[in-house]
Structure formats: structure tokens, C-alpha cells
Structure 1
């Protein structure tokens, strides 16, 4: 058993799950070398606390898994209903020595659908996080936006005083009685700021359909969610060195407007 991240290490120390030479360790415990370090995490025995929420697994091996995230569920957090809590009930435990509870390695908003990458071992979680930090994971999103748009472009509006960059390409536009024009837009975010695509599209007066936070007043679509979908992920597998390219088809509510792509 391993502790994949610094935050996870702090949690197990706080819960007194770590001993150094038989004594309970804290964040102040100093390690010289040669000590016997023991990690003892109690097994969960109360099945009523397990989140039974069936998920569509798009790819899985001993190291990692890619799943479809539905709308209306958090990726992680203090809520009981999260993707993180549903993962152990949907994935096969890794047989590798550093197996751990599966953990998402990036974020998708509560209302966003699409591909979510998770690690199943401590080493996989660390390496996948590094791939994201090094910008070696190519992500493609699709959104439905409101209003006339140029055929393609780049948005560089800073977010929270930080550099942010998103590229867009209009794939198809249709006339709409309520919104005048609706666009199917392919999005390539070069940075990963919180709500980046939603904020960027709103900044050029083309908010995403169904965006109740950044949408235009009087044009809020209620009851059908946010029309933002994480369509694909592409990266080099950090252990097998194979090229992984996974797509998650557009939701039906997209294809009802534009047809299949």
C-alpha cells in the first residue's frame, strides 16, 4: 500500500495511520534513514457507505482507467456522490504492488460530461499528474454556443490574473428561433484554469448554452444542463509507452441540434 500524493500523506498522518519505529508519526516526525515506517489503513467494512453509481468505463488496465463522467456529479470533494467515491465500485483493483484507491487526475465541472482520466496505483497517479503539468495530455471539448462567431480563433483573456489560452473552431451553425444562432464549437484548451472554457466563451459574447453562471441574462436554458462535453483525451501511456486516444461520443442533446459529427 502506498500514499500517492502529499495531501493524502497529510490525511493519513492526521488519522494516526502511520508509525515510525512503532511510534505514531506526525508531520513533525524527522526521518534520518533506516527507520521502519508502517502504514495501516483500516479496511472499509460498512458496505452501506459505498456509492453504488454505475459508470461507463471506456478504457482500463492495471495502471489507469478512463471513464465517461455524466452530468450532475462532482469529480471529487466532501459530497458523498462523487466520481472519486464511485470509482472503486466500477473498476477492477490493480494487481500491482502500489495499488491504491482509484483517483481522478484532473477536473470536470459538475454539469460537464465526458472523458475523465483516473490513476489506479500510486505511481500512475503521480505520473499522470506530471503529464498534465507538462501539458502532454491533449484534450478536446465540444460546446454549443450562442450567437454568431468567427470560424476559428484564439482566446487569451487572463483568468484570476493568470495566463489562459483556448483555441476554438466552429464546426456547424444553425438558426434558432430563441437564440438566433447556435454553434457547435470544437475547443482546445492550452491551459487548465477553473471554468476556463466557460469564462473564455462568455468573454467574447458567445456563452455556452445552459450556462447559468456565465450565460447571458434572458438566455438561460433551464432543465437541460450545460452544453459542454469533454470529447477526447490523447497522451502517451506513462508505463507501456503506447499512444492512448479515447473518444466519448457527443450526448444526444447535442446531436438533436446538429446531427452526428
Structure 2
């Protein structure tokens, strides 16, 4: 059996499949003292080891004020602005800004705060962060098991049905997104602009953007998946991560947190946006 399958769950510090793959890619796992890869085979009787590299504090600190929506010793939810990566090899990322915005956890397994899911560079809205090793593992597992309900809002182009379900394969994996049309307005340039509520049932890369483009209703401002002569330049991507709902893995309380729609959405739509509840934290 491949180590990539066998090793899921055997280390508390790399409990999920994605965490194990990340540890393998970073050369943190050995089999009989030899660095393992995702292709390493396990036959039985091997000694499998995991080494956690010591965290090195960066010499520079990224000063980027972030709005913290909720926070406790296990996790936090922040509002991600547009035009910044969640994580990556560049200095200016949400991950590098978190330590300057979030209170350190007082728990024994406190670690550098880490985003536990992705939002695109241009997407705004709620982003969930783990503050301890156990919280990061638990939250990653909840996302993998589809135990976090996510709601997005987008502005799309064209005459849409009132509701629908979009399914497809993305990178060889099944994906599903459900949508509801909230409001539609006429537009000289685009014909119709729609305020759409989106509920992705899976979490594939660029899923909502790809799904809406596949039914010929791309998101306004999407330069990658939009219609060539209908690309809106200079206004950003009209996609907003509105809310997250999940059971707190350590308190067992339901957490529902949301971020109000950006002002640029409100400039297009007025009637129905007033009916969408504003920020309201619950735990």
C-alpha cells in the first residue's frame, strides 16, 4: 500500500490526507530513516517517522490591518480583503498578516495562526483560521468531510433561471454548486446583471467561477473564466464569501458568522440587498 493512503491518521500532527501530503512534500516523513515520497510503498514492519520542523519567526512583520469577526483560543474568523493571497511564497499574504492581528492562544498546542481553507486572490469575505495544532487538524478535517456550510454571493451576467444545481468534474473530482437568483437588473452593456446566492457542496479550486462560466453566466470581473468582450476591467471580481456555519470542534456550539456585502454590490442592487441581514456574530 502507498504511504500516502496508509499514513492517514497515524500521526496526530498530520491527521488528514491533505496534511499528510503536505508533510510528504516538505520531506518531513521518513520510512526506515529514508525520506519518503507520495510514491513510497509500505509492505509491513517499517519504521515510519514524522519530524516537525521548528518554526522560525520571520525577520520582517507584515503590517496589514485585518477585521477580526470572531476569536477564541482555538480559532478565529477574519474578513479577507480583495487583492491579496491567502498564503503562498510571497511576503504579502493573509497568513503572514495573521500574527499581527490575532491574539496568541494560551493553550498548550498554540501555534502560528493558519488559514484552514482558501479564497481566491480577488475574492472578499469570511476566512476561517486555526490557532492551535489540534484546531487546525480538526478544522481541516471538517472541510474535507463537508461539515462546514459556506454561502457566497456573486454578480453574474445574462438571463438566469431562478435556481439551479451545477455539477461537473474539476481536476478529476466530482463537484457541485447550488444557486438561487436573488435579484436581476437590466444593464446596457451586459444585458442583465444578477445577484446570486451560491452554496458550494464541494470545495474545488475556482469551483464557483468555473461552474458559473460553464452555464454561460460568468461572474462579473472574472478575467480568467469570463466572456472575452464582456470583461469588466478595474473593478475586481464580484465574488464574496458571505458566511460560514459549523459546529465548533471544541465547544460543540454552532458558529454562524457572516460579512456584509461589499459596497460595490450595493451600487448595482438595492431592493433585495436591504433584506440580507447585516453582520451578526453568534457562537
TM range (shorter): 0.7 to 0.9
1: distance between equivalents of 2:51 and 2:164?
A: 54
2: distance between equivalents of 1:250 and 1:128?
A: 25
Residue 195 of structure 2 aligns with which residue? 184
SS at match of 1:108: coil
1:12-70 CA distance string (max 9 Å, x none): 959xxxxxxxxxx87479469xxxx9978365373xx1111110000100000000001
Residue 4 of structure 2 aligns with which residue? none
**Consecutive unaligned residues in structure 2, runs of 5 or more:** 1-11, 37-45, 277-283
SS at match of 2:164: strand
2: distance between equivalents of 1:38 and 1:234?
A: 34
* TM-score, normalised via structure 2 length: 0.80
Aligned residue-pair number: 244
User: Does the aligned pair in 2 maintain the 1:147–1:179 contact within 8 Å?
Assistant: yes
SS at match of 2:228: coil
1: distance between equivalents of 2:143 and 2:172?
A: 21
Counterparts in 2 of 1:206 and 1:238: CA distance versus 1, 3 Å: same
Given the alignment of the two structures, is residue 68 of structure 1 paired with residue 83 of structure 2, yes or no? Answer: no
1: distance between equivalents of 2:166 and 2:25?
A: 38
* TM-score, normalised via structure 1 length: 0.87
Given the alignment of the two structures, is residue 44 of structure 1 paired with residue 57 of structure 2, yes or no? Answer: yes
Counterparts in 2 of 1:31 and 1:257: CA distance versus 1, 3 Å: closer
Residue 73 (structure 1) shift: 0.5
Residue 177 (structure 1) shift: 1.0
User: Does the aligned pair in 2 maintain the 1:13–1:26 contact within 8 Å?
Assistant: no
User: Does the aligned pair in 2 maintain the 1:209–1:220 contact within 8 Å?
Assistant: yes
Residue 162 (structure 1) shift: 1.9
User: Does the aligned pair in 2 maintain the 1:65–1:118 contact within 8 Å?
Assistant: yes
Residue 79 of structure 1 aligns with which residue? 90
Residue 162 of structure 1 aligns with which residue? 173
Given the alignment of the two structures, is residue 92 of structure 1 paired with residue 79 of structure 2, yes or no? Answer: no
SS at match of 2:257: strand
Residue 148 of structure 2 aligns with which residue? 137
1:146 to 149, 157, 161: 157
Residue 159 (structure 1) shift: 1.6
Counterparts in 2 of 1:228 and 1:42: CA distance versus 1, 3 Å: closer
Higher relative contact order (CA 8 A, sep 6+): 1
SS at match of 2:246: strand
SS at match of 1:154: strand
Residue 210 of structure 1 aligns with which residue? 221
1:101-157 CA distance string (max 9 Å, x none): 011110100000000001000000000011111111000000000000000010012
Counterparts in 2 of 1:249 and 1:45: CA distance versus 1, 3 Å: closer
SS at match of 2:168: coil
Given the alignment of the two structures, is residue 109 of structure 1 paired with residue 120 of structure 2, yes or no? Answer: yes
2: distance between equivalents of 1:39 and 1:192?
A: 27
1: distance between equivalents of 2:131 and 2:104?
A: 7
**Consecutive unaligned residues in structure 1, runs of 5 or more:** 15-24
2: distance between equivalents of 1:45 and 1:206?
A: 43
Counterparts in 2 of 1:156 and 1:42: CA distance versus 1, 3 Å: closer
